[in-house]
Amino acid sequence: MPGLGRSTISKWEIAGEHLAERYQQFFLVALGETILVAGFAYSRGPYESGHVWAFALALATSIMLWRIYVQRAGRILGEAVMKARHPATIGRSAADTHLLMVIGLAATAIGYELIIEHPLERIPGAWLAMVLGGPALFLAGRARLEYEVFGRISPSRWVALTVLVASSVPLLYLPGVIATAVGALVLGAVAVADARRAHGAPPEAAAPPF
């Protein structure tokens, strides 16, 4: 029935730090799963150079995903919730944001498994969608998280997403491990851009737009 079971945002009571901690744990569990998937795929062998490179790139990608997430916005989500004019609004929005990032992690993990098992083969479009689409979904979610916390989005997010999309066509004609390398390099560039922006500057305070 219309209206039944529907909550009113203004009646929500939000504990910012507790909510942010739950979302962070949700993300970290999903990130840990990507590493487990990569490890299981690699453990099945063979242990030739292409497989070793694919596994190493998978681990590097997971590290970059973690680094980008925790760079400021991921650490002070609780502060942003407490500062927001409408805490329930940012709480709900952050839930959708983390779901998007976790879907990106799941796609990335599928890409790990496919490439570790077939590192030197040309990959079909569906595989490439996992390899590059996973990091792209994560970056889109992370850009949204940045907006929720600071009310703005860093240009590096849009540049990275553009590079991932633009590189998808030529990568269809190259070995799968190259696609994984491109994804890792793009994420690494975003992490470096974040670090350079924060270097020597006072910690940015939360400024949620909600």
Q: Kindly report, residue by residue over 93-126, the tens digit of the pLDDT.
A: 999 999 999 999 999 999 999 999 999 999 999 9
State yes or no: pLDDT of 8 exceeds 80: no
C-alpha 143: how far from its chain's center? 9
Specify the pLDDT at position 73. 87
State yes or no: pLDDT of 49 exceeds 70: yes
Here the tokens at position 183 are 């994804």
Q: Indicate the length of the chain as a whole number.
A: 210
Over residues 131-157, mean pLDDT? 95
d(Cα 4, Cα 131) in Å, to the nearest integer? Answer: 42
Locus of tokens 């099945």 = 44
Specify the pLDDT at position 16. 66
For residue 197, name the pLDDT band (cuts at 50, 70, 90): confident
DSSP characters over 118-132: STTSB--HHHHHHHH
State yes or no: pLDDT of 4 exceeds 80: no
DSSP-based three-state secondary structure for 48: coil
Q: Are 24 and 74 in contact (CB under 8 A)?
A: yes
Specify the pLDDT at position 163. 97
For residue 14, name the pLDDT band (cuts at 50, 70, 90): low
For residue 2, name the pLDDT band (cuts at 50, 70, 90): very low
Q: Give the lowest-confidence range in 7-16, 24-33, 139-148, 151-160.
A: 7-16
Residues 157, 128, 167, 160, Cα dihedral to 10°: 10
State yes or no: pLDDT of 89 exceeds 60: yes
CB-count exposure of residue 166 (10 Å: 0-12, 13-18, 19+): exposed
Residues in Cβ contact with 210 at an 8 Å cutoff, skipping those fewer than 6 apart: 84, 85, 86, 87, 89, 90, 93, 148
- pLDDT tens for residues 71-85? 888 888 888 888 888
If one compares 81 and 186, the residue with the highest pLDDT of the two is 186
Mean pLDDT of the chain: 90
State yes or no: pLDDT of 40 exceeds 90: yes
State yes or no: pLDDT of 10 exceeds 90: no
d(Cα 203, Cα 210) in Å, to the nearest integer? Answer: 21
Specify the pLDDT at position 11. 43
d(Cα 62, Cα 98) in Å, to the nearest integer? Answer: 16
Q: Are 183 and 65 in contact (CB under 8 A)?
A: no
Here the tokens at position 32 are 């840990």
